[in-house]
Each structure stands twice: as C-alpha cells, then as structure tokens.
Amino acid sequence: MSDTHAQSVAYVRDTMLDPKPAPASQSGAIQWLRENLFSGWLNTLLTILGILAIYGFFSHFYAWFLHGVWNANSLAECRQIITTEYGDGATGACWGVIRDRWHQFIFGFYPPELYWRPILTFLLLFAAVGPVLFQWVPRKLIWFTPIYPFLAVWLLWGGSIWGPVLVALGFVLAFVVFNYVARFGTIGGFAAGAIVAILFWLFGVSPLAGVLHAIIPLGIEPVESAKFGGFLLAITLGAGGIAMSLPLGVILALGRQSDMFLIRTFSVIFIEFIRGVPLITLLFVASLLLNYFLPPGTNFDIILRVMILVTMFAAAYIAEVIRGGLAALPRGQYEAADALGLDYWKAQRLIILPQALKISIPGIVSTFIGMFKDTTLVAFVGLFDPLKGIPDFIRADFAWKGIYWEPFIFVGAIFFILNFAMSRYSMYLENRLKRDHR
C-alpha cells in the first residue's frame, strides 16, 4: 500500500508543518482583553464604567496635582503663584505646607536640635524588631530586643539614665528570683518574682536613681510629654501599645480558656467590658477619671495614661484572637502534651502557644493595624496626633488658615504605607510558617 502511494498521489508531505501562531483574536493582548475586560455585555459595561470612573477621578484632580506648589510660605502666596502661572480660576495643591511644617507632622513640638533622638530611636526600632520578625537577621541581635524599650524611653524622654536602667534591673531581679523559686513551682516563681519586682519599683527605684545620679550624673536633656506630637506620638503609642498588649493578651486568652472558674470569670469580664465600649470612652477614662482611681496627689504623664488604656484595649482584642487560635488547635495536641507529662506552663510554652499564635497571626496583625489607626483618637483628649491635632494647630496659624487637602493626603499616605507594610508582613509570615503541603 505504502509503496504504491507515491504513484497514486501526486504529492505527499513528508515533514510536519510548523505550528502556526494562534489567530490574532485568540492570543496576546487581544485575547487577554477579550477574556478579562470584554467577555459578555455585563463585563463590557463594567469595564466602561470603570474607565469612566478612573477618567472622572483623574480629570478632576489631575490639574490640581500638576499645579502643585512647593515653594510658598502661606496659602495666599501659594494661590497667587498658581494664579500667575496657570491663569485665573486655576486650582492647585499647595504642598508648601508640608515643606514648611513637615517637622511638626513628624515630630510635633519636639525641640529641633534634638531630632536625632527620635530618629535614632526609630532606626534602632528596626534593629530591635529585626531578629524577631525576620529570619535572616543575625540571631545575636536578639539580645538588643529586651534592652530596646528602656533605651527608647530614655532617648525619647531624656533625663537621667538611671531611671530606665533601674526599672530594667527590676525585671532582671524578678527573673533571678523566678529562676530560684521556680524550682519549687512555676506559679510560686511567678508570684515571688512579681512581688520582688514591684517592691523594688515602688520603693527602690527613685531613691537609688537619685543616689546613682549624684555619683555618676549620666543624662541627656529631658523632653516633656507635652512636646510629643505627630507621627512621633502615633508611633510611640502604637509601638508601646503593641509591645505591651501582646503578653497581656496571651495571659488573658489563657485565663479565658482556664479550667479555674474565678480566673475565667475575671478574664471574661475584663475582655467583654473593654470590647464593649468605644476607645474614645476609654481615652476619656484616661484623661478624666484615672485621677479619681489613683491615690490623691498622683498625677502622671498623659501619654503613659493613654498608653495604659490603649494597651488594655488592644490586649482584650488580641486575647479574643488568640482564644480563636487556641480553640482551633485539635484536642489531640493538648492530650499529647499531657501524655508527655508536661506541666501546664511547659505544655503551653512548648506545644500549645507556638501553634496557636501561628494560627492567630493574621488576626493579631490586623488588631495592631487597628490600634495604630486608633492612636489618632488621642486628638480628643488634647494630644497632638498627626491627623487632627497637628493640622488644627497649623490651620490656627493665619498663613495656613483653610488648608485641608494637602495635610489629609500627606498624613493619609504615611498611614497607608505603614499599615499596608504591616499587612504585607503578616502575609509573608503566614507563608513562611505554613507547614501543611497543600
């Protein structure tokens, strides 16, 4: 058959044809457009509406952005420049306010010659959180992390170095006592450590600090809390609140899962009470009521008061997130820990919490983001937050009376960058910690 073929058929192709490219409508950009933008009438309609929306947005604000003026010292000057350059009726952004007042947005009323202190604190923050957040950072740096909070307080508020050092010493003391007593029982160790530390802070720190300062006067210029403002205030509150609320949240979550009735009840009451009221009312408690609750004559720093309440607020939310993580662990994990003969604290530390915290990461990070956003509410107790306190202050100046959009955009953009970074980090961490192979 095959040998007759050559005679019966005039022509036989003995090589494969080269594959042809797909038709123009089925490949490349055109196919992509058809599939993603114009498949069906509804999709086409949506695309057209989307394009119209984008066009509407940009046609409105394009000119405003393009006419932006950076070199101006007042709103009137700004408007004059825009009118002379682009004609009557032209609108434009007046970024001059950012150039003129950026230091107030960032640092509040912190003395300008001391700006290096908050900047250094901020840079050191990365060194402190780096070993916790990223694996590629040298492990040795982790020693810096527990030192950082005290260093940061000293750098930001200034004054004698001995106060923060002695407060840190209280923790060291508590740890030593805990290590010694924990041989007889973990809970006893905790209790003894806490009692020693509290006694030391109450009665040891201030006289000792005085004595030490008299012997070795090491100190930098003190800056009072009223000078804090802008993002310096927001980040101080946010970072401080985050650092303190996580341990408190873990303890509250464990308390809520506890078998002991009273511990559970107290935890539930605390968590539900804090979660049930708006943060603003808690800030009012900080600014108006805390003086009633403390011994007569106590009057401590407003930033510290606000930070305590913000910490309690965030801790209640984090406790609920972690409780979700604890509940999501299979019972087998708890039973396995029991079967290994681990006591409660060992089981929690080695088996339960590492897994529960991993599950809770997205929730914890979104609580942190929420808390950082909520730091703007301190404007209502008279602090200078970057969103309302500082812009209101700037608008009170005649030169910048009536400037709204530029501060909104500037501050909003910084908030967006910081929060977006945090949420991306949580996604990265989720991926890194993922252990199931799906």
Partner 1 sequence: MTTAHDAPESQGFRLSQLIYDTRYRSLTIQVVVFFIVMAFVGWLVDNTIQNLSALGKDFNFSFLSQRAGYDIGNAIIPYNNDMTHGRALLVGLINTLWISFLGCVAATILGIFVGVLRLSKNWLVGRLMTVYVEVFRNIPLLLWILVAIALLTEAAPSPNAYKINPTTGEASASMLFDSIAFTNRYTAIPSIHFDRSLGSLDTALAPISLNFLAIVLVLIASIWVNKRVLASAAKIQEATGVRPTTWWKSALILIVPMLALLIALGFNPDEPVLQGFNFKNGTNVSNSFVPLWLGLTLYTAAFIAEIVRAGILAISKGQTEAAYALGLRPNRTMNLVILPQALRVIIPPLISQYLNLTKNSSLAIAVGYLELRGTLGGITLNQTGRELEAISLMMLIYLAISLSISGAMNVYNNRVKLKER
| Binds partner 1 by CB under 8 A, chosen from 55, 300, 408, 428 | 408
Could you say which of 230, 376, 394, 399 contacts partner 1 (CB under 8 A)? 376
d(C-alpha 136, C-alpha 116), whole Å: 28
From candidates 97, 233, 285, 314, binder to partner 1 by CB under 8 A:
285
CB atoms within 10 A of CB 69: 18
Q: How many binding residues for partner 1 (CB under 8 A)? A: 60
| Only segment of 3-11, 31-39, 171-179, 200-208 that touches partner 1 (CB under 8 A) | 31-39
Piece of the chain touching partner 1 by CB under 8 A; list 130-138, 327-335, 406-414, 425-433: 406-414
d(C-alpha 8, C-alpha 2), whole Å: 10
- Nearest of 271, 248, 260, 243 to residue 150 by alpha carbon: 243
* Piece of 17-25, 147-155, 237-245, 272-280 that binds partner 1 (CB under 8 A): 272-280
The answer to the question of residue 332 lying near partner 1 (CB under 8 A) is: no
Q: Are 309 and 283 in contact (CB under 8 A)?
A: yes
What is the smallest separation between the CB atom of 341 and partner 1, expressed in angstroms? 13
69 phi/psi in degrees, rounded to 5: -120, 125
Please select the residue that binds partner 1; options are 25, 27, 36, 84, rule is CB under 8 A.
36
Q: List the one residue from 37, 63, 81, 124 that touches partner 1 (CB under 8 A).
A: 37
Query: In whole angstroms, how close is the CB of 110 to partner 1 at the nearest point?
Result: 22
Using CA atoms, how far apart are residues 119 and 264, in angstroms rounded to an integer?
A: 43
Which of 124, 423, 429, 430 binds partner 1 (CB under 8 A)? It is 423
**Residues 6 or more apart whose Cβ sits within 8 Å of residue 24:** 30
**273 phi-psi bin (left φ>0, alpha ψ -120 to 50, beta other):** alpha
Q: How far is the CB of 363 from partner 1 (least distance, A)?
A: 11
Distances (CA, A) of 234 to 371, 390, 418: 10, 12, 11
String marking each residue 215-254 x if it binds partner 1 according to CB under 8 A = ----------------------------------------
385 vs 234: CA distance, rounded Å: 6
Q: Which of 197, 209, 235, 279 binds partner 1 (CB under 8 A)?
A: 279
Determine which residue in the list 31, 83, 355, 419 makes contact with partner 1, applying CB under 8 A.
419
Identify which range of 92-100, 154-162, 273-281, 329-337 contacts partner 1 by CB under 8 A.
273-281
Cβ of residue 426: shortest distance to partner 1, in angstroms? Answer: 12
For 32, other C-beta atoms within 10 Å of its C-beta total: 10
69: left (phi over 0), alpha (psi -120 to 50) or beta: beta
* Using rule CB under 8 A, residue 146 touches partner 1: no
Tokens coding 175 = 């740890």
Rg for the chain, CA atoms, rounded: 31
SS3 state at 229: strand
Interface contacts to partner 1, rule CB under 8 A: 35-37, 39, 43, 46-47, 49-51, 53-54, 185, 187-188, 259-263, 266, 272-273, 275-281, 284-285, 288-289, 291-296, 369, 373-374, 376-377, 379-380, 387-388, 402, 404-405, 408, 411-412, 415-416, 419-420, 423
